[in-house]
Structures are given as C-alpha cells and as structure tokens.
Amino acid sequence: MNLSTGFADFHPVIQNQALGRPGILMRAAKAGQGGWQRGRDLPRLLRSHKCPAHDQALKLLRAEEERLNGLRLLRAPSYDMQRHVLIMIALLAEMHAAAVSVPGTATPERP
C-alpha cells in the first residue's frame, strides 16, 4: 500500500465527535428517548426530590456524565454502564428540550 492509496481509502467516522463517546453508547441513548419521562425519571436519576430547571439539569447531567466517562476510560470496577446510558438518555432529552425552547433552533418533527 502506498501513501496516496492509504489516504484516499481512509474515511474517518465523525459520528458522535462532539461528545466523543462510543457509538454504541449514543445509539442506546437515542433508542431510550421514547421511554423518557422527565418528571418521573430525572429526579430519580439525579437523586433529587424534584425536577430542576433545564439549565441546572444540564449542568448536573454533564458533570455526572463526565465522571462516568472518566471511570469508563479508566476501566474502573465502579463504572456503571447502565447508569451511563440512563444519564446519556437524560442528557440528550434535556439538550433537545433546551433547543426547542429557543426560538428558531428546533427542527420540525418528521412524520
């Protein structure tokens, strides 16, 4: 293989580049969106008695996701994959809710 052939055949995967998380984690989080109920799930996930405002929820979720991702990268025995997926479900849902609440940023629903 020469250099020109190698570079021409290389197609980088850009999926999930913004968060830098494994594709399978993101697919699981996207698949869980249908079952997400903010009022029921968010307080339990954040170990709180009430739902925080969207901006506060995003801060808490991002901090917890960063913590979990750090444990994942270290392959720590305390890493909880199920909790990481649930946090990602919540994070995606809160990001979507925040985008919808800002005029002109939401994308229309597709039939």
More confident residue, 1 or 102: 102
Above 50 in pLDDT, residue 72?
yes
Domain coordinates in residue numbering, the chain: 22-30+37-101
Question: Residue 79 and residue 69: Cα distance in Å, rounded?
Answer: 8
Total residue count of the chain as it appears in this document: 111
Per-residue pLDDT tens over the stretch 17-32 = 456 899 999 999 999 9
Q: How far from 60 is each of 2, 66, 83, CA to CA, in Å?
A: 49, 10, 14
Above 90 in pLDDT, residue 3?
no
Q: Which pLDDT band holds residue 111 (cuts at 50, 70, 90)?
A: very low
Above 60 in pLDDT, residue 9?
no
